[in-house]
Amino acid sequence: MEISGQNQNFISARDLGVVACTRCTQVWPAGTQICDRCGSTIVARDEKSLQRVWALWLVGLMCYVPANTYPMLQTRTLLSVQEDTIVGGAVELIHHGAVGIAVIILIASVVIPLAKFMAIAFLAISVMRPSSVSSHHRQLLYEVVEYIGRWSMIDIFVVAIMSSLVQLNTLAAVNPGRASLFFALSVIFTMLSAQAFDSRMIWDAQTRQERNPRDE
């Protein structure tokens, strides 16, 4: 709840004496332990949220490095074997005139994962230190990160489809490279990292800034 005025004050659900279930979003009186709707445990704040966020974020980043250095796709023909990384495969598609597909792969496999890493790190840091970005914008950023995370798997889907379609015995075959495993793990860990973030801490940080304006 927001009170308009020269200095905007935010009243949190904790101030109102209620707490929401993080799974089904049902609101209950503060002190409720179990959600009667879905049976989940209700906590006012996840105190270990940031530890899990950073741990999963770091593992995802570690997996993302070999995902871009190892070959994502192996194309074997009767005369040669070609291995392409994510960027190398996109460049190869451009050379064959498939610019649209190459752009989609680059956005889904390079731009979105890197943007997710930066966004998650920014959100985690912003709840520990004063930030000039408003709570509303940070909440919107968190929702966008959670929503688009799954679309990073499009590169894995392309490899899986090509591997199943192009199998001509000794003439030609397309197989997934070592990078596909690391890329899938990177996407999974970054998705888990985003889900581990307790967005209610964004509003707690806002409340702290309002009560202690000298710390900004």
Residue pLDDT, tens place only, 69-106 = 998 877 777 677 777 788 887 887 788 787 887 888 78
| Contact criterion met (CB below 8 Å) for 10 and 4 | no
Query: Closest Cα partner for 141 from 104, 209, 194, 188?
Result: 194
Is there a single domain that holds both residue 25 and residue 81?
A: no
d(CA 22, CA 191): 16
Q: Could you give the residue ranges of the DSSP H alpha helices within 41-98? A: 49-69, 86-95
Is there a single domain that holds both residue 90 and residue 25?
A: no
Would the pTM count as exceeding 0.85?
no
Q: Which domain holds residue 88?
A: 46-215
Is there a single domain that holds both residue 102 and residue 203?
A: yes
8-state DSSP, 42: P
Structure tokens at 169: 């015995």
**pLDDT for position 210:** 59
Positive or negative torsion for Cα 180, 184, 187, 193: negative
